[in-house]
Amino acid sequence: MSERPTKAVLRVLNGEPVWPLPIWIMRQAGRYLPEYRATRSQAGSFLDLCYNPRLAEEVTLQPIRRFGFDASILFSDILVIPHALGQDVRFVENEGPKLDPVTSSKDFPRLADELPLERLDPVFETLDRLSRSLPKETTLLGFCGAPWTVASYMIAGKGTPDQAPARLTAYRDPAFMDALIDRLVRASTAYLIRQIDAGAEAVQIFESFGSALPPALFDRLSLDPIRRMVDGLKQARPQAKAIVFVRGGGANLHRFAAAGIGDALALDWTLDPAVVLPTLPNTVATQGNLDPLALIAGGEALTQGVDHVLAAARGRPHIFNLGHGILPETPIEHVERMIARVRGA
């Protein structure tokens, strides 16, 4: 019989209500922190920072030192997977990621069929370092992007407002899209398994572009691939816990819950927890979902936003978080106020 976890986040992921709610926030290591900006300036490129275990460990630890969050999430990026597969990936200042597009099966020879895990050894070293340097009460999270979200970048060569290039490809060349998604499912599953072996206790799968998918494509490109990833992870490492975050996937939230995909479902800020949470079984853990702009605004907007989540989540297995990543212009004192309100509830 497995030992009952003592860390608050892992207790929630085991289906246990914990009060006060444990808290961490997406993108908690980032540009809103002056210490992050100082470390980032030492690294060279953004990818250099991701692949430097000493500096990646440092920026991952910074929000833990400052705020004492209940979970620490690996500092990396979802695009290390296509980069490791062989696609050219670079980050342009003030523009974001740029990739040499992969648009048809003719481009597959440029990519490895299976993920060369050794190319990601620096990421696994970062996790190993964190597993030894984090406070004993802090859960260590790994992560990756969901196949549809990563494929959208690979096909368009950049972020696009509505993922039109990838959606159009899915309609025009379904065989290529299915083959790309399949390759990403296999690569991402292997990556997550290796993250668990390197010290991560749980992982989050980010479907950041879920809102772009129409019903005709959602199961094929999002729900089923994520199911396969979680199943593959659990078969290989039964102790691993998985949080699934589908931004804009509210209409499909109950389908993920009914299918048992993941140990927790993360809600974006567009969902009302007072409406959604009572419709989910008490055994389904959830996470979220303060609007990141309410955190920037502060004042009464922040107080009301935090209190609304707390009231809806009381008595349920829930992790307090934002409904998406924290934004660079967020005042640090607002983060401090949010944490104090969550922990003082």
| Closest to 290 measured CA to CA, from 263, 257, 313 | 313
| Closest to 309 measured CA to CA, from 272, 336, 281 | 272
Active-site residue (options: 32, 36, 70, 77): 77
Pairing assessment for the beta strands 241-246 and 89-92 based on DSSP bridges: unpaired
Read off the DSSP letter of residue 205.
E
* Residues in the annotated binding site: 27-31, 77, 153, 208, 324
* Residues in the annotated binding site for substrate: 27-31, 77, 153, 208, 324
Active-site residue (options: 27, 167, 228, 316): 27
Active-site residue (options: 32, 36, 51, 153): 153
Active-site residue (options: 40, 129, 228, 316): 40
CB 118 within 8 A of CB 225: no
Three-class SS state of 187:
helix
Answer yes or no: 172 catalytic. Answer: no
Pairing assessment for the beta strands 318-322 and 264-266 based on DSSP bridges: unpaired
Amino acid letter for position 294: A
CB 133 within 8 A of CB 64: no
| Closest to 144 measured CA to CA, from 217, 195, 209 | 195
Answer yes or no: 191 catalytic. Answer: no
Q: Give all strands (DSSP E) within the chain, no chain letters.
A: 71-73, 89-92, 96-99, 139-145, 202-207, 241-246, 264-266, 285-290, 318-322
| Cα-based angle 104, 206, 143 (whole degrees, multiple of 5) | 105
Answer yes or no: 27 catalytic. Answer: yes
CA–CA separation, 63 vs 263, rounded Å?
25
Q: Which residues are catalytic?
A: 27, 31, 40, 77, 153
